[in-house]
């Protein structure tokens, strides 16, 4: 687990001793193909890093009384899922489903916060990583939304850069 945590983007640059502290609170989970790690709207208690396989972040779309999950992002080894566990209101905003048999290491918020209290360097690195994830997500949706606005209001309903 030590090596897998060290390879995780969220813990990039932390010393071996700090990785060891995180390993002590991490819980390895195995997901079967199609199994959900969490659902949109669930209380977010764990932030996880993918160690093998692939986890799809999905948005449920309802149409004609049928609800199906649409994958909006796929994350592989080293990537983070469930950062909502570290940000109010602590609710997942997407669902996470294993695209293949996958493994993740989950970190419970209370335990992670305890580590943060005793080691501000871990807190700085982790929250910096979470901020970057959030900024990327925000920027992506901002760009998508602006393209959508263009399409909606441009004559003929198509933007110039499709």
Which residue ranges make up the site for other proteins (CB under 8 A)? 59, 61-64, 66, 68-74, 136, 139-140, 143-148, 151-152, 157, 160-162
- How near is the Cβ of 73 to other proteins at its closest, in Å? 8
- How near is the Cβ of 124 to other proteins at its closest, in Å? 24
Helices and strands, counts by H and E, the chain: 4, 8
Nearer to other proteins, 17 or 63 (CB): 63
Strand 80-81 vs strand 26-31: parallel, antiparallel, or unpaired?
unpaired
Nearer to other proteins, 119 or 132 (CB): 132
Nearer to other proteins, 56 or 103 (CB): 56
Rounded to 5°, angle at Cα 21 from 86 and 132: 35
CA distances, 1 to each of 5, 37, 96, 114 (Å): 6, 19, 21, 20
Nearer to other proteins, 26 or 77 (CB): 77
Burial annotation 132-157 (CB, 10 A radius, 16+ → b, else e)? ebeeebeeeeeeeeeeeeeeeeeeee
- How near is the Cβ of 158 to other proteins at its closest, in Å? 8
- How near is the Cβ of 92 to other proteins at its closest, in Å? 18
């Amino acid at each position: 687990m030590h090596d897998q945590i060290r390879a995780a983007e969220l813990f990039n640059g932390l010393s071996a001793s700090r990785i060891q502290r995180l390993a002590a609170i991490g819980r390895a989970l195995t997901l079967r193909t199609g199994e959900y790690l969490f659902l949109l709207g669930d209380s977010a208690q764990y932030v996880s890093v993918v160690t093998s396989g692939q986890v799809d972040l999905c948005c449920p779309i309802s149409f004609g009384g049928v609800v199906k999950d649409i994958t909006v992002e796929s994350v592989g080894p080293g990537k983070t899922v469930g950062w909502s566990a570290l940000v109010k209101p602590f609710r997942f905003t997407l669902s996470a489903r294993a695209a293949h048999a996958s493994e993740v290491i989950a970190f419970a918020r209370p335990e992670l916060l305890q580590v943060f209290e005793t080691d501000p360097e871990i807190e700085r690195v982790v929250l910096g990583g979470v901020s970057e994830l959030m900024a990327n997500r925000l920027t992506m949706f901002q760009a998508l939304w602006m393209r959508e606005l263009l399409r909606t209001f441009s004559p003929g309903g198509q933007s110039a850069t499709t």
